[in-house]
Copies of this chain bind each other. A is one copy, B any other.
Amino acid sequence: MDSSKNGTPESEARAKGKAAAGAVPPPVAAARVGRGGWKKGVAVFDFLLRLLATGAALAAATTMGTTDQTLPFFTQFFQFQASYDDLPVFTFFVIANAGASAYLVLSLPFSIVCIVRPQAIGPRLLLLVFDTIFVALTTAAASSAAAIVYLAHNGNANANWLAICQQFNHFCQQVSGAVVASFVAALTFIFLVDLSTICLKRN
């Protein structure tokens, strides 16, 4: 790099040529100097978003998993009780959100690798592919549960399905909260995919 002190364009080009012939290829070297800090910031934000999504998915799974309401009156034969496993959709909801939080916890080390080495493509690509799958999974869980919650709140006269939330008020509130938490997790996943995309753009 000493020859660049001459200052002529010709010698500068020669100096660049020597750098290019070295161990580090030019695009990587340029990115390391110019965009390393910016990418590290995005990687830290990615890590924080993953913590938020873990919290949201875990909250959704536990809130839904612990719903259980027994009405204070009962007939001679049975007591009125509502729990999440009365409806298969809610069971799927718990499994999907528990799976999403497990994946998010497992993805944290990869996210840390992306902070330490912002130029690494492998872990970033791995996270992006799995994040896209979990966008679909959490959205599916949240929206199918939302369809049933809507039915529980409003009923449907055409299909002759009655609203059950008048009786199971506490149950419905808890389930609605879980659905909102799951939607937060799904939106965070969409945001994570977009963040990873921006990071991959210039490698």
Interface size on A, residues (CB 8 A): 54
Task: Decide if A18 touches B21 in the complex (CB within 8 Å).
Answer: no
Task: Decide if A128 touches B197 in the complex (CB within 8 Å).
Answer: yes
The residues of A with any CB-CB pair to B shorter than 8 Å are 9, 12-18, 20-21, 26-27, 82, 86-89, 121, 125, 128-129, 132-133, 135-136, 139-148, 150-152, 156, 158-162, 164, 186, 190, 193-194, 197, 200-203
16 more contacts with CB within 8 A, not counting A17-B17, A140-B140, are A9-B21, A13-B18, A13-B21, A26-B26, A27-B27, A87-B158, A125-B201, A132-B132, A132-B135, A132-B190, A136-B190, A139-B139, A143-B143, A160-B164, A193-B193, A200-B200
Please, which residues of chain B bring their CB within 8 A of the CB of A86?
A: 156, 158-159
CA distance A16 to B15 in the complex (A): 10
CA distance A29 to B144 in the complex (A): 49
Task: Decide if A158 touches B194 in the complex (CB within 8 Å).
Answer: no
Please, which residues of chain B bring their CB within 8 A of the CB of A17?
A: 13-18, 20
Please, which residues of chain B bring their CB within 8 A of the CB of A143?
A: 139-141, 143-144
Task: Decide if B20 touches A82 in the complex (CB within 8 Å).
Answer: no
Max chain B C-beta neighbours (<10 A), residue from A13, A143, A160, A194: A143
Please, which residues of chain B bring their CB within 8 A of the CB of A197?
A: 125, 128-129, 197, 200
Instruction: Kindly report which residue of chain B lies nearest to residue A87, judged by CB atoms.
Output: B156
CB distance from A162 to the nearest CB of B (A): 7
Please, which residues of chain B bring their CB within 8 A of the CB of A16?
A: 17, 20-21
